[in-house]
Structure 1
Amino acid sequence: MATLLYRLGRFSYRRARLVIVAWLVVFAATIGGGLALGGQTDETFSIPGTESQVALDQLNALFPAVSGASAQAVVVAPEGAAVTDAGIRDQIDTLERALIGVDGVDSVLGPFDEFADGQVSDDEAVAIVRVQLDGASSDISEETIAALVATAETVDVRVEFAGQVFQDTTVGLTVSEVLGVLFAGAVLIITFGSLRAAWMPLATALIGVGIVVGAILGLAAFLPVSSSAPLLAVMIGLAVGIDYALFILSRHRGQLARGMDPAESAAVAVGTAGSAVVFAGATVIIALLGLLVVGVPFLSVMGVGAAFAVLIAIAAAVTLLPALLGVAGAKLVPREGSRAWKRAHPDATTAPTMGRRWVRGVMKRPVLTSISVVAVLGVLSIPAFSLDLNLPDGGSEPAGSTQREAYDIIADAFGPGTAGPLLVTLDITQTTDILDDLAAIRGELEQVDGVASVSPGIPSPGLETAIFQVAPETAPDDPATKLVVADLRAAGDAIEEEFGTPLAVTGVTAVGIDISTRLTNALVPFGLVVVGLSVVLLMAVFRSVLVPVKAALGFLLSVGSAMGVTVAVFQWGWGAELLHAEPGPILSFMPIILMAVLFGLAMDYEVFLVSGMREEFVRTGEPRRSIEDGFANGARVVTAAALIMFFVFAAFVPEGSGLIKPIALSLAVGIAIDAFVVRMTLGPALMALFGRAAWWFPRALDRTLPDLDVEGEKLRHHRDHRAWAAEQGDAVIVADRLGFEGTDAQLTLVAGPGTRVDLVGEGATRRLAGATLAGYLPPRSGRAVVADAVLPSEAGRASRRVTLVDVSGDRLAPTVTIAALVSERIALAAGYPRGLRRTRRWIARLTTALASLGVEPLGVADPETAVAALDPRRRALVLAAVATLDATPVIVLDHRDDALTGDDIALLDALVQRLAPAPVVRVWGREPGSPAADGALTVDLDSASTLIERSGA
């Protein structure tokens, strides 16, 4: 991974303008496409499969007149008057006529109509006009809502409106988010001490966020997408986009300060810090995609959108950022004596950095530090045990809004439960006495504890179903209402047994309760899936058992503390007025969003801090020194990253939507606690207590899990090998004690363009050597650069630049003709379509070359001759000649020991040189004891293959 990212960073640096233009084109196309598709967000919350949702879907099919969106016009009589007064009743009639005339209104039921029920308060000061709309809440247009509100102007009494259609559940960006970006910019300027460097992470993050928002808007044209989805993606994308670029840019400037070439520094920074970015981002993506296991559609879309934002942030950090570095070039080199220069030269300063002093203090008293942190965070987590989840209702709307006014009026005049009634549906297809049974069932429902009133049962026009409107004694967001729903469903079993009418509880309030219950029950399996996968990933990264387990347990403290603070503010009301928040239940999906996002970001800090410790431990083997040096090297950049995330999330709290405030506050608090308390305080203390055991890793796991090399050890070897090969001039193959699997043989070689190399050894040993040089087998030891490809880190590139052929042709099918072999090779090598004319032209060239070498072409001149039908000499000539079609700088040729003589090989070698488009290195296999060839570089593989010895050959 590190080597791949190194090459990607190098390419982006050298092709800076191309990469930048490509990103800008994608940015413009995505934004333009999203706006052109005109996707609209959908604030309908539903969970398929829940009782309330199934009942609501059945109502929509059988009784659409009551299943759609509804509204309530709340009429308040002037002080001293009553809604039953003649003048007020006239005003209500006028209001009803105005309401029925609004487009999208299906029916209006006034408080004094024949079938009205409980629509006038006991003191006759308030009346409710019920309005049934066409379609679901998501189908009601803004024009219809505005027209409904405008009807209040047609009467001379106070009218307020309630209903889900009036609740503003959309969320959007405000000026406070801009302040968050400005704060992040200020942190970057302080961190880098340079304006030129500070704008780059902001630019990459903003371009990435723009792409994500455009993509989500485009998706909204085809799928229901909550407005919270793009906003969450913006929050996550900004935070991780800035942070990931910050980590790479910090590494780059440190290397520049130490004198590294800018192009090489950018590539190395992407290969090392970029590896940590990729795997840290992978943990965030795993956590966010874990939302899919919850089975909530709108939450799944939010998780996928945020995961896409992280993916784009990673891509921007490892491609767009090095391109920007390529434009800046050497201008980013810190001035000698500046803070950035001093950080890169710690030996030039005598005073230890703040990070080093901090970690020394932590490690001095690790037990006391650990106990203190756990105790404090445990106290902060106590309020989390009082967590009450629900979806927003009219009571959570801003004070002074019409929906909040209507909600409060209804709650005061009719009881809080009337503001969010439940719908009880009955299947009456098996009932013979419908009206009497409905009356009896109404009486049963009125006996349920917590029920304030039950409306008369209303059968559907087709007599398939009937509904009751049940008003609980408590508000929709009151925990007691959840018990009422449970008791109604329990009573439904007895009612079904007695009357044969299956019962279900639905409505907006019941749907909200079911969603909250589903999300609460999903927290544990979600946590197990996400934490389990990420612990395995961290084991692969750190090659340790204790470090990933410590990271996961630290996360539990962080998330508990964040939830505790959020409950204290938004549920208990501590300091809520400072944040312009209304105390009440916490948004249902806040805990699961918090767990997903915070876990991913917490693992970011773990990777960036502990990878430095791991790198030092691998180099020195000293645990305490590794903790100190690794922490000191990463503390400043992690501090800056955490502050940036804190400011970005905190910016959404003061003036943000009521939906997003609890999420933003919990993330801001969680980030601060996790970074500064858990990762930078508790983490080093526990690592000091673990000592060398922190890096214990069972051999079975070491063999099972891949080595992800986040520290870039393989990249260092890759760069060292390249520097070593560069010292050999223009050599095409450079090998130093290159060992092969299955044999004790070693190869040391320097071969320039046009060189012939003879590998002398047993057949199996020669084939192992050839396959290793061609990148098909990993070397057992040593180092090599073949055709500008470093082995083993660039084995794939070597396989594309080395042609490996057995000129004996033993594996050829007997029906393969010369024309078929040549045309297939031309198509594979050059990407040309197969053509008989081109094939015949090349075969004619081959016959001419053979004739010039004194070889009678015989069957070679006929394209339809089967290759296997040729004699061994001519078959080898055809196969060797075909190998030149690849136009690779190296060709490795081998044969059976008894197939060809030394003169035959000399002839084949001459043919290859004549047909190759450029001087090519030819590596021939030759058995021991055969005569040496003139002008050939002979390498004795001098050791019998242990593979042959083991096989008994």
Structure 2
Amino acid sequence: MSVYLYRWGKFAFRRKWIVLPVWLLLFVLLGGLGATLAKPMSNDFSMPELPSARANEILDKHFPGMSQQFKFDTVSGTYVIGAPAGQQLTDPANRAAIDAFITKLGELDIVDHKKPLASPLDMTDKMGCLTNPDPSKCSGAPVNVLSKTAPNSVSVLQVPFTIAKVTDVKDEHRDAAYKVAADARNAGLTVEMSGSIAQKQEQPSGKAELIGMGVALVVMMVAFGAVVAAVVPIVTAIVGLGAATSLIMLGTSIMEVPSFTTFLASMIGIALSIDYALFIVSRYKHELTVRDSPEEAAGAALGTAGSAVVFAGLTVIIALGALGIVGVQFLTFMGLGGAIAAAFAVLTAVTLMPALLGAFGKYLFKPKLPLVARHDPEDPTASVTLGQRFARLIGRFPWVALGLSVLVLGALAAPAVNLNLGLPGEDSQPKHSTVRKAYELRTEGFGEGSNGVLMVVADLANVPEGKRDEAVEALRTKLASYSDMDYVTAPQYSESKLGAMLNGVPKAGPNNQVTKDLVAEARGAEASLKADYGIEYGITGTTAIYADVDHVLLSKIVPYLAIVAGAAFVLLILVFRSILVPLTAALGFLLSMAATFGAAVLIFQEGKLGLIDDPQPLVSFLPIMLIGLVFGLAMDYQVFLVTRMREEFVHGKSAKDAMVSGYHHGARVVTAAAIIMISVFGSFMLENDVTAKSFGFALAVGVAIDAFIVRMIIVPALLVIMGKWSWWIPAWLDRILPDIDVEGTKLDKLREPDLLAKQPVNVS
């Protein structure tokens, strides 16, 4: 591979005014098609064989169409109404304000008027629950009649809307739905909105990308000591990310693409494009000091660093592409979007970069910036660098470096035992939002569990006709007996009397692990009830569906990690021609993952150090995404740093000296690359979306831990400890493995003019 990339690098450097216009044409073409043919993205996701899916089947069998309310792209809306302090909603003035509000809702175009809206007070009155309410009959009333502290002070009103999908909700729809309650608020009532109608689906604002690129520019100016050299990787990042995003948007014209796809692609595209370009430019700078011409230097840089970039990119693409095995549609698309961005990052690095090197020519590293890059590791006349000093220190005390690093990672990993996961719900919305206020008002009036109602649907087809009421009552009694269940409402029967529907209200909130355990426990009682009565039932609703998703995602982590690690292990054997180096790379990743989860729990979930105003459970799909992303990036740094060490070892140095020399050349670029990654990911904490915040935080911490502790301390220490055995490989395996020559040993032969002339130049 190194020979082909070497030849292409020289060709692109020499024929820059052919390569650059081709890339410009491709960029404009993809951008134009993406902008013209793009369609709105989807907010729905599917997952096969969830227990809640079976419950939805029973629900639709006896109550046709009712499961639609639980689809993630369905437009839903609930108004939570609170009385003024010290008053009740049943007070004449408040009742009149609610009636006027209902009338206003009936005039709203986006409200579905097929079924007239009824006041929650009227509904509660018809149930006979406003005076002397019976807990056995009134627990499901839309007014908090059973509250011991402030009865009749809070009510809920579910409103059907005519808007088909969440993606069709516009700002004017959201504003109209909120402002329709203005008169009620002026009358002294508190009226807040929950449901998808009230939640604005925010796309990344672009602030994170700009901040990430700004930090990257400063870091590269320090690394290269020149402005122009720092700008070139930014150019490749813009082109790579722009092309990848355009291709993703183009895909919306033929299929539904989840809205979160572009967020992940932005993260990956910017970070990898800059990192890969940084690695090649850094190697090009070194080759200029040892090669006869800039063209030769460009070819050699692409043949060595470019080969490492290709294989580093492949690990990321494999890690993200393997998300398809999870079986969640939106995760599959997120992984695909990230893989596309990674592929374009590699493509721009190995095809566009050498042409840009040729275009800027001798001006690439001029003018030199004062006070920066004074100790350049690529300058043979420079003094000893900080990286070289640190490598020598590791080489002198490898066991101390290894032990201290493991202790630090162990301490960081300890909080991970308290890991709590959940999908973003209404309690994760910003505190100032109407959705969050509605959640808190409902909690105040009905208890936190009222925000996570469990819908229990029973199929009575196999129950003898005379025993159906008894069977349903036995089910209700069993569900109500659980200590974590607050209450279970009276059953509602279908027209055929073959189906029944009950609502179970937990004591804890929807994202609480206690509630998730309650869902599993309640489902476990079906076998005995079926044996006694023939009744079958299922549990659905947003809370149950989220609990199912959490369970499935966690169960997929081990097989996913096995596939990703196995494929990457094979790739790293090809790159390093070693067994122990890929093994230590994988084991080091496990340490960094444990520490990352611990740090995320400590800061983001428990709110330590005050970095997060509103601590929340980690997003349930974050662990599997974090594993995929950080594994790919970790292998990038492994390849970037350790290939240079192997190169020095192959050229005759001892294992210890090879580590020190490789560290000397690679530490600055890996440090710069990691700082850029951390900045790009960390800047996503500025987004309003809680999922974006948690992703940005966890990824930034993961990269920091893996790059600076695992790759730059633990791995070098192990290379010294293992000595020459670091590079051992069985002879039989060495014979059958293809020689990809990441170190570029074959390039030395091409420097000989007589041998070079015999080599046919093929740039296709």
User: What's the TM-score, normalizing by structure 2?
Assistant: 0.90
1:385 matched to which residue of 2?
417
In structure 1, which of residues 319, 322, 337 is the aligned counterpart of residue 351 of structure 2? 319
Given that 2:656 and 2:723 are in contact with CA atoms closer than 8 Å, whether structure 1 keeps it comes out as: yes
Deviations 1:299-348 (A, max 9, x none): 11111110110000000001111111121122225679997797366542
1:520 matched to which residue of 2?
554
| Aligned pairs for 1:304-703 within 5 A | 304-332=336-364, 343=376, 346-349=379-382, 351-431=383-463, 432=465, 437-461=471-495, 465-576=499-610, 578-579=611-612, 581-703=613-735
1:274 matched to which residue of 2?
306
Given that 1:104 and 1:144 are in contact with CA atoms closer than 8 Å, whether structure 2 keeps it comes out as: no
Given that 1:47 and 1:53 are in contact with CA atoms closer than 8 Å, whether structure 2 keeps it comes out as: no
In structure 2, which of residues 241, 255, 265 is the aligned counterpart of residue 223 of structure 1? 255
CA gap 1:337/1:233 in 2 versus in 1, 3 angstroms: closer
1:656 deviates by 4.3
Stretch deviating more after TM superposition (87-96 or 306-315): 87-96
Distance 2:660 2:591 in 1: 24
Given that 2:585 and 2:635 are in contact with CA atoms closer than 8 Å, whether structure 1 keeps it comes out as: yes
Distance 1:132 1:437 in 2: 32
Stretch deviating more after TM superposition (686-695 or 86-95): 86-95
CA gap 1:300/1:463 in 2 versus in 1, 3 angstroms: farther
Distance 2:356 2:368 in 1: 23
| Aligned pairs for 1:145-294 within 5 A | 145-155=174-184, 156=187, 157-168=189-200, 170-258=202-290, 260-294=292-326
1:177 deviates by 3.5
In structure 2, which of residues 84, 87, 94 is the aligned counterpart of residue 88 of structure 1? 94
Distance 2:338 2:214 in 1: 22
Stretch deviating more after TM superposition (594-603 or 168-177): 168-177
- Helix, strand or coil for the counterpart of 1:426? strand
| Aligned pairs for 1:292-307 within 5 A | 292-307=324-339
Q: Find out whether 1:125 has 2:125 as its counterpart.
A: no
AA aligned to 1:25 is L
Given that 1:170 and 1:228 are in contact with CA atoms closer than 8 Å, whether structure 2 keeps it comes out as: no
1:7 matched to which residue of 2?
7
- Helix, strand or coil for the counterpart of 2:424? coil
- Helix, strand or coil for the counterpart of 2:80? strand
May I ask how many residue pairs the two structures share in their alignment?
729
1:406 deviates by 0.7
- Choose 1 or 2 for highest CA Rg: 1
1:671 deviates by 1.1
1:75 matched to which residue of 2?
81
Deviations 1:652-675 (A, max 9, x none): 113442111111111111111111
CA gap 1:309/1:220 in 2 versus in 1, 3 angstroms: same
1:141 deviates by 2.2
Stretch deviating more after TM superposition (59-68 or 450-459): 59-68
- Helix, strand or coil for the counterpart of 1:653? helix
AA aligned to 2:5 is L
In structure 1, which of residues 95, 99, 102 is the aligned counterpart of residue 105 of structure 2? 99
In structure 2, which of residues 166, 184, 192 is the aligned counterpart of residue 138 of structure 1? 166
Stretch deviating more after TM superposition (167-176 or 477-486): 167-176
Distance 1:176 1:462 in 2: 56
AA aligned to 1:110 is S
Distance 1:463 1:488 in 2: 23
CA gap 1:151/1:428 in 2 versus in 1, 3 angstroms: farther
| Gap runs ≥5 in structure 1 | 727-784, 798-953
Distance 1:247 1:101 in 2: 62
Given that 1:449 and 1:487 are in contact with CA atoms closer than 8 Å, whether structure 2 keeps it comes out as: no
Distance 1:158 1:335 in 2: 64
1:490 deviates by 1.2
CA gap 1:220/1:428 in 2 versus in 1, 3 angstroms: farther
1:12 deviates by 2.0
1:564 deviates by 0.9
CA gap 1:56/1:441 in 2 versus in 1, 3 angstroms: same
Stretch deviating more after TM superposition (63-72 or 512-521): 63-72
Given that 1:224 and 1:298 are in contact with CA atoms closer than 8 Å, whether structure 2 keeps it comes out as: no
CA gap 1:462/1:150 in 2 versus in 1, 3 angstroms: farther
1:110 matched to which residue of 2?
119
2:43 matched to which residue of 1?
43
Given that 2:377 and 2:665 are in contact with CA atoms closer than 8 Å, whether structure 1 keeps it comes out as: no
1:442 deviates by 2.8
CA gap 1:221/1:166 in 2 versus in 1, 3 angstroms: farther
CA gap 1:171/1:55 in 2 versus in 1, 3 angstroms: farther
AA aligned to 2:119 is G
Distance 1:82 1:329 in 2: 78
Deviations 1:853-886 (A, max 9, x none): xxxxxxxxxxxxxxxxxxxxxxxxxxxxxxxxxx
1:407 deviates by 0.3
AA aligned to 2:182 is E
1:40 deviates by 2.0
Deviations 1:382-416 (A, max 9, x none): 11121111101111110121110110011111110
Distance 2:689 2:661 in 1: 43
CA gap 1:288/1:725 in 2 versus in 1, 3 angstroms: closer
Given that 1:110 and 1:128 are in contact with CA atoms closer than 8 Å, whether structure 2 keeps it comes out as: no
Given that 2:487 and 2:506 are in contact with CA atoms closer than 8 Å, whether structure 1 keeps it comes out as: yes
In structure 2, which of residues 751, 754, 760 is the aligned counterpart of residue 789 of structure 1? 760
Distance 1:144 1:460 in 2: 34
Given that 2:646 and 2:743 are in contact with CA atoms closer than 8 Å, whether structure 1 keeps it comes out as: yes
Stretch deviating more after TM superposition (522-531 or 702-711): 702-711
Distance 1:310 1:265 in 2: 25
Given that 2:204 and 2:263 are in contact with CA atoms closer than 8 Å, whether structure 1 keeps it comes out as: yes
Distance 1:295 1:276 in 2: 31
Distance 2:368 2:621 in 1: 51
Distance 1:502 1:486 in 2: 15
Distance 1:424 1:513 in 2: 15
1:725 deviates by 5.3
Distance 1:94 1:185 in 2: 58
Deviations 1:105-124 (A, max 9, x none): 36445322246832111211
Distance 2:30 2:368 in 1: 43
Stretch deviating more after TM superposition (307-316 or 481-490): 481-490
Higher relative strand content: 1
| Gap runs ≥5 in structure 2 | 128-137
AA aligned to 2:265 is A
CA gap 1:239/1:569 in 2 versus in 1, 3 angstroms: same
- Helix, strand or coil for the counterpart of 1:620? coil
Q: Pairwise CA RMSD of aligned residues?
A: 2.5
CA gap 1:255/1:427 in 2 versus in 1, 3 angstroms: same
| Aligned pairs for 1:811-822 within 5 A | none
Q: Percent identity?
A: 38
1:275 deviates by 0.2
CA gap 1:31/1:469 in 2 versus in 1, 3 angstroms: farther
| Aligned pairs for 1:837-852 within 5 A | none
Deviations 1:726-768 (A, max 9, x none): 4xxxxxxxxxxxxxxxxxxxxxxxxxxxxxxxxxxxxxxxxxx
Q: Find out whether 1:26 has 2:26 as its counterpart.
A: yes
